Chains A and B, each alone.
Chain A
Amino acid sequence: MIELTEQPIDSQEVLRRVSSTQAGAVVLFLGTTREFTRGRQTLSLNYECYAGMAKKKLAELETLAHQRWPLVATEIVHRVGVLGLGEASVAIGVSSAHRQDAFEAGKWLIDTLKEVVPIWKQENWTDGTAEWVHPVIETSPIEPSPTDKPIEKAE
């Protein structure tokens, strides 16, 4: 399941939603607000999204992850609005029978979310300035795609 929220993320709830007796592994990723970036000090972050498309893209990523890896459950929660230091902007929970799939799918989900989901953060620096973060992209990855076959393991 996917969710956009303006409320603080309940990571215990994310874990509860993906937990299952079918899972031997449960992985949780939290993206949290870091204080220093290239020597500049953050006061807070402000996240904005294109909600309709963001939800669509998050759901697509979830579907692709389930196609690529044998997963039991996934949960992606992204928060928008103003966040203080240490607060989580995104939580990704993944469960699977075996840990390699949960780790790999979790990493792929956050890496791909950061490339394709229409959400933006604005840094509010302690010096009083604010700037939207728009990374320079060397290629133009528009769509995530399951380019690799799921890894087949003999178990």
Chain B
Amino acid sequence: MNVEVKLFAVAKQLAGAETVTVSVPNHATVLELRNAIGRQHTELRDITQRALIAIDAEYANNDALVPKDSEIALIPPVSGG
């Protein structure tokens, strides 16, 4: 399946886009998604290692499954406040 990953901060800057499309197996885990982002968008490989993944606005562990029609975001280390 193809999923859209929302990008922010340095990731958005590196990709030159607000989202990237990533191809993953139908029952992919977050870990598989991370690896797919790095392979399919090599400019994002390094920041993806340091980032968390959010699914439907909740942080997701590496072993969580990526649902088909969910809102996915790449969350680099935050610096608000």
Contact = CB atoms under 8 A, between A and B. Distances in A.
A111 to B, nearest CB: 9
Interface in B18-71: 47, 50, 52, 54, 57-59, 61, 71
A3 interface: no
B79 A133 contact: yes
B57 A136 contact: no
A23 interface: no
Interface residues of A, number: 32
A120 B76 contact: yes
Q: Which 8 pairs from chain A and chain B are nearest by CB?
A: A119-B80, A120-B9, A53-B57, A133-B79, A132-B10, A114-B81, A134-B77, A132-B9
B54 A118 contact: yes
B78 A115 contact: yes
B75 interface: yes
